[in-house]
Amino acid sequence: METYPSYLSAIKSGKLFEVAYSLRSRLRECDLCPRKCKVDRTKGELGFCKSTDEMKVASWSPHFGEESPLVGKSGSGTIFVSSCNLLCVFCQNYEISHLREGTPMRPVEVAQIMLALQEMGCHNINIVTPSHVVPMLLETLLEAIPSGLKIPLVYNTSAYDDLETLAALEGIVDIYMPDFKFWSKPYSKTYLNAPDYPERAKEAIKEMHRQVGDLIMDENGIALRGLIVRHLVMPGLLEETKEILRFIAQEISPNTYVNVMDQYRPCGSAYSYPQISRRITGEEYRLAIRYAKELGLKRLDPRVRFFMVF
């Protein structure tokens, strides 16, 4: 089995350069994500994500709080990109996404970060919220690969992704990690300002799975290629959880690696919404895990959760 990152073949064939050029051209009437703002980001015009044609980086480091196959012994090489194309009202990275904290960086500068994380022993390069900066991400790879980048690339996303953009990434991204947030339009409209989110997320995750399949790990349990799906359990919304898990089991694959997350806490403007102004209870989380197992999802992230319920 070939285990080297997909992007190494993409740069040899010339595909990586062609895709980077093509996606950058779309910034002139930006349609990279489902928002389709049609602004000219190359001239500084700002759409929903309020980003130009530069990538802003908020922080980077080996991350040990990610899924077990990403973390291993040396951590996931995580790069937090400023801004977001979704902007959840409860975002736990509010300063990064809504307030857009970060430093504009040229592709060569981000490439140096990737190489530094690889040198630290990180098992992968994990780009958090890449949907609005895909052209710049590929330009970064064009700088980093000739200098020796050779670990898997993780596309860590809200799942609010455009199918055409995702299709262009085939053979470049090794690991897709979408977070499927809500199943129904009303909740998506209220909490994400994106009533079309459920449909976009479903089609995006299907496309991601088509490209990379179920998660493949090496003999040490480190992720090499494939799909990891996250779902953050929300207070009082277990029916949403049940439908999302059913979709994963029945329409993606029962062999999908799933992280059912319990760490919701009210952040951002969540306290303005009574239903989500509290943490989840232990019982809500136990029911979510039970639903997953009843649906036949056996590849659940194994880390034991501990939290206080007040």
**31 SS3 class:** coil
**263 SS3 class:** coil
Predicted confidence band of residue 3 (pLDDT cuts 50, 70, 90): low
CATH architecture label of 6-294: Alpha-Beta Barrel (3.20)
pLDDT on residue 307: 43
308 has a pLDDT exceeding 90 = no
Q: Where are the domains of the chain?
A: 6-294
Of 165, 143, 166, residue with least CA distance to 26: 165
Distance CA 93, CA 21 (A): 30
Whether the Cβ atoms of residue 68 and residue 301 lie closer than 8 Å to each other? yes
**50 SS3 class:** coil
pLDDT on residue 69: 97
Q: Which residues contact 117 (CB under 8 A, 6 or more apart)?
A: 60, 61, 62, 77, 78, 79, 125
5 has a pLDDT exceeding 80 = yes
Mean pLDDT rounded to a whole number for the chain: 95
Distance CA 112, CA 117 (A): 9
10 has a pLDDT exceeding 80 = yes
pLDDT on residue 302: 86
* 3-state SS record for 65-120: CCCHHHHCCCCEEEEEECCCCCCCCCCCCHHHHCCCCCEEECHHHHHHHHHHHHHC
pLDDT, tens digit (0-9, with 9 covering 90-100), for 46-102: 999 999 999 999 999 999 999 999 999 999 999 999 999 999 999 999 899 999 999
Distance CA 59, CA 68 (A): 21
Distance CA 162, CA 204 (A): 7
Predicted confidence band of residue 4 (pLDDT cuts 50, 70, 90): confident
Determine the average pLDDT of the residues in 17-45.
Answer: 98
Residues 12-30, buried b or exposed e (16+ Cβ, 10 A)?
eeebbeebbeebbebbeeb
Strands 223-232 and 153-157 come out as unpaired
**For the chain, what's the residue count?**
310
Whether the Cβ atoms of residue 196 and residue 225 lie closer than 8 Å to each other? no
Q: What is the DSSP letter of 233?
A: -
Determine the average pLDDT of the residues in 22-29.
Answer: 98
Residue linked to tokens 């080297």: 4
Predicted confidence band of residue 2 (pLDDT cuts 50, 70, 90): low
Whether the Cβ atoms of residue 278 and residue 235 lie closer than 8 Å to each other? yes
Query: How many other CB atoms are found less than 10 A from the CB of residue 38?
Result: 11
Whether the Cβ atoms of residue 291 and residue 263 lie closer than 8 Å to each other? no
Whether the Cβ atoms of residue 79 and residue 124 lie closer than 8 Å to each other? no
Distance CA 288, CA 291 (A): 5
Strands 76-81 and 125-128 come out as parallel
Predicted confidence band of residue 303 (pLDDT cuts 50, 70, 90): low
304 has a pLDDT exceeding 80 = no
128 has a pLDDT exceeding 70 = yes
232 has a pLDDT exceeding 60 = yes
pLDDT on residue 199: 98
